[in-house]
Amino acid sequence: MSQSPLSEWTDDVRVRIRDVQRTLRRTAEVLRGSSIDVEEYDPAEHGPLVSFSGHVGYEEVERYWVNAPFAFVSVNYDDVENEYRYHVVEPELDDLEADLLERLFADVRDSLIHRRGAGDGDGGSGDGVQSDDPEAVLKAELRELLTMYGVDLDPASFFRLFYYLDRSFRGFGKLDPLMHDPHIEDISCDGYDLPLFVYHDEYTDIETNVAYAEEELDNLVVRLAQQSGRHVSIGEPVVETTLPDGSRAELALGEEVTPRGSAFTIRKYADEPFTPVDLVNYGTFSLDQMAYLWLAIENNKSLIFAGGTASGKTTSMNAISMFVPPRSKVLTIEDTRELALYHDNWLSSVTRERRGESADITMYDLLRSALRHRPEYIVVGEVRGEEAMTLFQAMNTGHTTYSTMHADSVQTVINRLENEPINVPRAMIQSLDILSVQRLTYVGEERVRRNNVIAEIEGIDQRTGDLDYSTTFSWRADDDSFRQNDSSIVDEIQDEKGWSRSELLEEIRDRKRVLQYLRERGVTDYRRFTAMINEYYSHPERVLDTIDLENEVVTGFD
């Protein structure tokens, strides 16, 4: 006589309960105890959490921590293949720790959800741990659950489990070490079971030992979209978004548009924005160029940064925005949040895709709205469509505007502006003052970013009808230097200010002195840099006197 469906279900439940009980008993027998008292990990006392003996056939050329004492990176070189390998080293779990971790994932998640739902009226977690310290909360949850299991772990095992829980709940999972590495600019995943590639500031494009199986990659792409407030699905498989840490991500789900499986590219966001001093130190711009741009921005000249992918357009635009005079009203408009201004009177706006029955909020919508806020400076992340017309209308009505474009030369920028889908009339392009074109190139074997040319738009040639421009600065690849020519913009500023030629040259020299002073003192923090620039705007003589005084002390003059 066959069993009823209810009996079969009951038997299945009993089997599952017995399996869970057996696993718990085995864990408790091996790690007998009921109290966990681990405050801080001490490598000298508790031993290392990670180890790596290297790759056979590879020479290790560099090793550095990305999340001490839990994870480090080993960069290895294969002389035969002439290639580098990027190897992430994380704690290894034994079978028992792996079983515990699997169970802890579910229990910690449930506990944290319950804690969040119940709320903490006194700001604490109920066990003396403040809920505004997520690391302490997670450690407390881990201790509590291990105590409930009747498990007593040695400190190394405790912290290995803590690392993987923390990596999962507060970080990016398997991707976390790459996101922690300050030397990585881009992270690329091309599909299922394929190694991730990164762009490293020392070794350029390099293969890693990180890869994702089908289900975990799909889950990661969905999670990255959800964390940034976006939706991705098979029906809408492609999403461009900004991650919570500010990194820019392009996500593709499934095999609809990426046949090798879900894919993503993450352009990492620098914790601290680059300053003009950083760009001079990296050789992207010269000191003369930065002094020129400072004078132009102070005097409300509009500017577009152009260049190819990863040429540093947005980084440069963000950096030179630090020259905007204090208290001037600045409004930024972006598709994905990248700009970071240390400016008091700054209104930031970001586009939004349709949600439910609501309509899209496009860059065009935001730009039209921006003009009603009466900004003095408008910064648009990138122009590529109808918003460009509004941007140039703003220029023509006296607003100072900055933006970026994908183009590799001055003529390409002009062609893109005049043709589909942008279609800005040639007469309106005359309102653009300066065009800066950057490139990602090589100096010897080093991959670098350089400002290729700074051009000034001079108007329409009456004979040919073409748009005229002149080159103020140009980069010479043969000796990695910048050549400077005469500037009509500088002459225009001189006339507007009523300066003599000597007064103009003195103004430029003073700005170079300030920038050189900041460079020599290593002032690359954007807060300190902006504070110094604002101080110069308020009290230029006092700043210059301070520079002179400090230089006298350094050189030993009385």
3-class SS shares of the chain: helix, strand, coil, % to 5: 40, 20, 35
Instruction: Identify the CATH number of the domain defined by range 50-88+171-269.
Output: 3.30.450.380
Q: Which two tokens stand for residue 520?
A: 């020599």
The pLDDT of 442-446, averaged and rounded, is: 88
Angle at alpha carbon of residue 507, lines to 504 and 509, rounded to 5°: 110
Q: Which two tokens stand for residue 299?
A: 């005097």
Within 10 A of 60 (CB to CB), how many other CB atoms are there?
15
pLDDT value at 387 more than 80: no
Q: Average pLDDT of 313-341? A: 88
CA–CA distance, 295 with 511 (Å, rounded to integer) = 8
What pLDDT sits at residue 26?
A: 44
At 556 the pLDDT is 54
Tell whether the model's pLDDT for residue 195 goes beyond 80.
yes
Summarize the confidence of residues 42-59 as an average pLDDT.
85
Could you tell me which of 231, 223, 228, 268 has the C-alpha nearest to residue 248?
268
pLDDT at residue 101 greater than cutoff 90 = yes
Give one DSSP letter per residue of 124-163, joined into a string.
B-SSS-BTT-HHHHHHHHHHHHHHHHTB---HHHHHHHHH
CATH 3.40.50.300 fits 276-497, yes or no: yes
What is the per-residue pLDDT across 16-41, written as a single tens digit (0 to 9) for each?
555 545 454 444 443 443 344 556 77
Q: For 143-172, what is the mean pLDDT?
A: 91
- Bridge pairing between strands 204-208 and 238-242: unpaired
- Between 283-287, 357-361, 494-498, 500-504, the lowest mean confidence (pLDDT) is in 357-361
CB atoms within 10 A of CB 423: 12
Asked whether 391 and 403 are in contact (CB, 8 A), the reply is: yes
How far apart (Å, rounded) are the C-alpha atoms in residues 13 and 100? Answer: 21
Kindly report the number of other CB atoms within 10 A of residue 454's CB atom.
27
In the sheet that holds 248-252, the strands lie side by side as 59-67, 71-78, 83-89, 204-208, 197-200, 184-189, 263-267, 248-252, 238-242
What are the residues facing 403 on neighbouring strands?
304, 380
| Average pLDDT of span 370-399 | 84
Banded model confidence at residue 4, pLDDT cuts 50, 70, 90: low
Q: What are the tens digits of pLDDT across the range 225-239?
A: 998 888 899 999 999
In the predicted structure, residue 371 carries a pLDDT above the cut 70: yes
175: its two tokens: 């991707």
Structure token pair of residue 437: 């074109």
**What integer pLDDT is reported at residue 550 of this predicted model?**
86
pLDDT tens-digit map of 245-278: 888 899 999 999 999 999 999 998 777 889 999 9
Rounded distance between C-alpha atoms, residue 405 and residue 295, angstroms: 23
pLDDT averaged over every residue in the chain: 86
Mean pLDDT along residues 394-401: 87
Give the pLDDT of residue 131.
58
- Cβ contact 429:460 at 8 Å: no
CA dist 12 and 10 (Å) reads 5
Dig out the tokens for 290 from the structure.
Answer: 């930065």
Q: Which of 390-394, 400-404, 413-417 has the lowest mean pLDDT?
A: 390-394
- Start-to-end CA distance of the chain, whole Å, equals 109
Domain segments of the chain as ranges: 1-30, 50-88+171-269, 276-497
